Structure formats: C-alpha cells, structure tokens
Amino acid sequence: MKLNTYLNYGGNCAEAFRFYEEHLGGKIGMLMTHDQAPGAANVRPELAKAVLHASITIGNTVLMASDVPPERFQPMRSVYLSLSVDSDAEAERIYELLTDGGEVFMPMGETFFASRFGQFRDKFGTSWMVLHEKPMGPPRP
C-alpha cells in the first residue's frame, strides 16, 4: 500500500509546481492540462489550460494535484505539508521563500522540538510547516 497527498489549486497548479521544483529541489513527473488529455475536443474553453493532473517528487515524497474551478477552490485548512530540513539556514531560506505573498500562522522560531519551526500558507494556497528538528533524547521511564 502507498499513501500519497493530492492537492487542489484554483487555477495556479502549474505555477505552484514549477515554483516548488525550482526552489525546493523537486522534480515534476507529470503536468497535463485538460487540452492535452485524450478526447480534449470536448473540453470547455475556460478549462483548457487548467491542470488535469500533475505530480512532483520533493525529497522522497510524491505530491499529486490538479486545478479545480476557481469558484470551488478553498485554501487548505487544518492540513499542512510538513517539511523537515537539515539546518536552521535551510529552514529560514524556505520560510522566507514560501511566506512571500502568503499568510503566516506561526512565525519562524525555536520550540522545544525544533531549533527552527514555522507554520504558514503560501501564495498558492498550500499550508506548510517547516522545521529543523532538535535531537531528542530517549523517552523517560
């Protein structure tokens, strides 16, 4: 069994995935618009360039996505993509990059479990947690 995350965007899926590919080291595996699909002759003109299906691999995780009609799109709520990185500097870099034009829920800072941790929604509507975890000792008896 394999569990993947599937995201919806309100018309900017291709832009978001290209941004993540460029800035997060991801690799787009597929990006197909409605007008590229078999039988595309029957596609409504306003959906022609909307993403029918896309996939991107970031680290060891595959994200899949598509565009939904803008009137049906709502930004993510109560769900986050959690991105663990190897250094405080990388956490800060990604936080600055992804919060630009977005909405910060918890500013980047130190917590008991991470030397750097922040929560936000990016300009594409995707909610993220970025963290550089602290080494945790063995559990107490």
pLDDT digits (tens, 9 = 90+) for 59-70: 999 999 999 988
pTM above 0.75, yes or no: yes
State residue 105's pLDDT score: 97
Domains of the chain are: 1-71 (3.10.180.10), 75-141 (3.30.720.110)
pLDDT digits (tens, 9 = 90+) for 14-32: 999 999 999 999 999 999 9
| Angle of helix 13-24 versus helix 88-99 axis, rounded to 10 | 160
CA distances from residue 78 to 27, 32, 108, 115 in whole angstroms, order as listed: 26, 28, 19, 23
**Is the per-residue pLDDT at 77 higher than 90?**
no
